[in-house]
Structure 1
Amino acid sequence: MFVIVTYDVDVRRVNKVRKILRKYLNWVQNSVFEGIISVSNLAKCKAELDKVVEDNDSVYFYELKNPYMLRKRVIGIEKNLFDEFL
């Protein structure tokens, strides 16, 4: 499935949340990740985040069963913040 994740967490936990999400998805913008992920990996990701996120934080998951139903338009420069290794 295709997932978009946004988060708003306390500054003390931003790096922990970002590190977890980078293991599973592509970092496309500050506080926004997206990508194709299996149901089992999504469950693992959510379990890891559940250990870090506190009561005043929020993490939103937008799950699309069919990624072809999504139209993505970018105004300006599309950021490519994930690392590519050869």
Structure 2
Amino acid sequence: MFIILVYDVGEKRVGKVLKICRKYLNWVQNSVLEGEISDAGFKKLKLELKRAINDQEDSVIFYILRTTKYSSRETMGIKKGGDEMII
């Protein structure tokens, strides 16, 4: 499956959350990652994030696409992150 992950977490947890996410996905820009991930990998990612975030203050959103066949991405302005996994 293909995942787009967006997070908004407290300043103290940003580095830790980014480090966890980069183990599984490709960094695109501030607080946004994307990439192909297996079901098992997705479960591991969610488990690690659940331990790292504060449920009362932080937010993580997963956009789950079963296929990228009908998707595309268009960027305006500067490009941040990598272009390894463009949808």
What are the residue-to-residue correspondences of 1:1-86 with 2, within 5 Å?
Answer: 1-54=1-54, 55-81=56-82
Distance in 1 between residues matched to 2:6 and 2:52, nearest whole Å:
15
Deviations 1:43-71 (A, max 9, x none): 10000000011121000000000112211
- Which ranges of structure 2 fall in alignment gaps of 5 or more residues? none
**Count of residue correspondences:** 82
Q: Share of identical aligned residues, percent?
A: 49
- Which ranges of structure 1 fall in alignment gaps of 5 or more residues? none
**Considering only aligned residues, what root-mean-square deviation do their CA atoms show, in Å?**
1.3
Deviations 1:16-65 (A, max 9, x none): 10000000000010000001111110110000000011121000000000
State the 4+ residue runs in structure 1 displaced beyond 6 angstroms: none
| TM-score, length of structure 2 as denominator length | 0.88
| TM-score, length of structure 1 as denominator length | 0.89
| Partner AA of 1:30 in structure 2 | N
